[in-house]
């Protein structure tokens, strides 16, 4: 028996849908507070020393946290090639802006403290702000557009074609519902960054972060609720019109998909997925209360719970759709028709089973070694401080 036959094609597709989701959630839970701290930097720190305190809370870990983003992108490329091709083609300019911001961020970390010139440092501080706020917002806008559907269609030879000009495709992403999702995303990560600063910082930086984090959490929770109402009342969903082949070839054009109804119909068909939005609202509410009360570790954990619930709710609501098409619903990409081959998914799963635990153990060890607060004395009296 071939080893790959131990797990059927349908199960492997679901496993990789779950794994890609977990990798992207891992990125949001870890690098999310890095981006949140960067976006908070101009507002929580009034002096150069305070800004250095904030920066040094994430300085030692931000590079490791980006591993989850790289793993997520690589997993999409290998496990879901059509999704990678179609999404990066349609979101090309948005992806370019995100990558530019993520490239500026490490440069700012490395060069900010090379000179003591206040103007020099202020410019790099705003670069850190952009490196946090821009990706945090555009990731949410991208999720909003996935829920709305994207204007592409597949040719008979499965080449993706988008309507509109190059610039028009980017402007077309800035739809009201997508912008609302962007607000939810940036405010949620601001709350997460504030929760991280409440654990790692002291004094005025911590106090300002808590105050801003409470407001950001309220905006995130309110925006998330509004997005749910919008989905229920103003956004059409997608559904299969006929029998679904879950272990067939990866060719979206072989399925018949129609628009209609609501994405939230999924909660009637699979009531158990209600656990995701419950986690989202509960996690954000408890994080807000924790920030107000001055609690530290529990607040960070509740913030992570809220992010987990919010992101999970999108994937579970849309399942099995991954990237629906508004131009030709039959071109929509789903879990059942946009994956790599059975053998490819199995080999990737074996590699993941070996290396992912090693990454998790190393990450846990790094956080244990670097645990503790960053104080003003640390950044002014320690010549080995990098940032």
DSSP codes of every residue in 289-322: HHHHHT--HHHHHHHHHHHHHHHHHHHHHHTTEE
Domains of the chain, by residue range, sit at 9-234+338-381
CB 106 within 8 A of CB 345: no
Contact call for residues 61 and 151 (beta carbons, < 8 A): no
User: 273 falls in which pLDDT band (50, 70, 90)?
Assistant: very high
Nearest residue to 131 via CA among 158, 163, 107? 107
Backbone dihedral angles phi then psi of residue 241, each to the nearest 5 degrees = -90, -25
Q: Quote the percentage of the chain above a pLDDT of 70.
A: 96
What span, in angstroms and rounded, lies between the C-alpha atoms of 25 and 68?
A: 9
Average pLDDT over residues 220-238: 93
The C-alpha atoms of residue 265 and residue 307 are separated, in whole angstroms, by: 23
DSSP code of 325? B
CB-CB neighbours of 213 under 10 Å: 30
> CB neighbours (10 Å) of residue 339?
25
- CA 200 to chain CA centroid, nearest Å: 23
The Cα–Cα gap between 7 and 170 comes to 40
Beta strands in the chain (DSSP E): 152-154, 160-162, 236-240, 257-262, 321-323, 333-334
Highest mean pLDDT of the ranges 160-164, 248-252, 290-294: 290-294
User: In angstroms, rounded to a whole number, what is the distance separating the alpha carbons of residues 114 and 288?
Assistant: 37
User: Is residue 226 scored above 60 in pLDDT?
Assistant: yes
Question: What pLDDT is recorded for position 66?
Answer: 87
Which tokens hold the place of 311?
Answer: 């992101």
Give the contacts of 260 (CB within 8 A, at least 6 positions apart): 236, 237, 239
Which of the residue ranges 60-74, 157-171, 210-224 would you say has the lowest mean pLDDT? 157-171
Where residue 164 falls among pLDDT bands split at 50, 70, 90?
low
Distance (Å, rounded) from C-alpha 210 to C-alpha 208? 5
Secondary structure tally for the chain: helices H, strands E = 15, 6
Task: Provide the token pair at 80.
Answer: 């879901």
Q: Give Cα separations from 277 to 32, 36, 272, 315, 326 (angstroms).
A: 19, 22, 11, 11, 26
Angle, CA of 337, 338 and 340, to the nearest 5°:
110
Nearest Cα residue to 323 out of 185, 177, 207, 154: 154
Q: Return the number of other C-beta atoms located less than 10 Å from residue 111's C-beta.
A: 14
Q: How many CA atoms lie within 13 A of 174 on its CB side?
A: 6
What is the token pair recorded at 278? Answer: 């419950």
| Sole residue written with tokens 């995303």 | 185
Range 109-114, long-range pairs (CB < 8 A, 24+ positions):
109/55, 109/59, 109/62, 109/387, 112/55, 112/387, 113/52, 113/386, 113/387
Residue 166 has pLDDT above 80, yes or no: no
- pLDDT category of residue 1 using cuts at 50, 70 and 90: very low
In angstroms, how far apart are the furthest CA atoms of the chain?
69
- C-alpha distances (whole Å) from 150 to each of 8, 219, 327 are 31, 27, 8
For residue range 305-338, what is the model confidence (pLDDT) as tens digits?
A: 999 999 999 999 999 999 999 999 999 999 999 9
Give the number of C-alpha atoms closer than 13 A to the C-alpha of residue 196, restricted to the C-beta side: 32
Averaged pLDDT for residues 116-132: 92
Mean pLDDT of 290-312: 95
Q: Give me the pLDDT at residue 382, please.
A: 66
Q: Give the pLDDT of residue 94.
A: 86
């Amino acid at each position: 028996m071939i080893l790959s036959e131990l797990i059927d094609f349908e199960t492997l597709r679901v496993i990789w849908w779950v794994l890609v989701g977990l990798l992207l959630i891992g990125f949001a839970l870890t690098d999310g507070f890095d981006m949140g701290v960067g976006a908070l930097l101009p507002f929580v720190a009034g002096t150069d020393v305070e800004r250095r305190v904030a920066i040094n809370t994430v300085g030692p870990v931000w590079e490791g946290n980006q591993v989850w983003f790289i793993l997520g992108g690589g997993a999409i490329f290998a496990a879901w090639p059509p999704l990678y091709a179609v999404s990066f083609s349609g979101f090309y300019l948005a992806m370019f802006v995100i990558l530019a911001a993520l490239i500026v961020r490490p440069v700012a970390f490395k060069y900010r403290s090379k000179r003591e010139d206040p103007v020099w440092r202020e410019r790099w501080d705003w670069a850190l702000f952009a490196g946090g706020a821009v990706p945090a917002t555009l990731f949410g806008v991208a999720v909003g557009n996935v829920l709305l559907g994207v204007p592409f269609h597949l040719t008979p030879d499965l080449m993706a074609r988008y309507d509109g000009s190059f610039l028009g495709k980017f402007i077309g992403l800035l739809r009201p519902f997508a912008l609302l999702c962007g607000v939810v995303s940036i405010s949620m990560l601001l709350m997460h960054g504030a929760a991280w600063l409440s654990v790692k910082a002291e004094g005025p930086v911590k106090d300002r972060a808590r105050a801003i984090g409470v407001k950001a959490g309220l905006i995130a929770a309110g925006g998330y609720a509004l997005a749910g109402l919008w989905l229920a009342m103003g956004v059409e969903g997608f559904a299969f019109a006929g029998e679904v082949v879950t272990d067939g070839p990866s060719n979206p054009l072989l399925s018949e998909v129609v628009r209609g109804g609501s994405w939230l119909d999924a909660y009637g068909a699979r009531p158990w997925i209600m656990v995701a939005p419950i986690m989202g609202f509960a996690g954000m509410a408890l994080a807000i209360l924790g920030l107000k009360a001055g609690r530290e570790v529990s607040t960070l954990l509740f913030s992570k719970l809220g992010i987990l619930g919010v992101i999970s709710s999108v994937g579970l609501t849309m399942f099995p759709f991954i990237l629906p098409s508004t131009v030709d619903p039959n071109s929509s990409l789903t879990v059942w028709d946009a994956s790599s081959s059975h053998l490819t998914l199995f080999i990737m799963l074996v590699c993941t089973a070996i290396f992912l635990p090693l990454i998790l153990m190393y990450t846990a060890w790094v956080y244990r070694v670097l645990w503790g607060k960053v104080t003003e004395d640390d950044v002014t009296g320690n010549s080995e401080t990098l940032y």
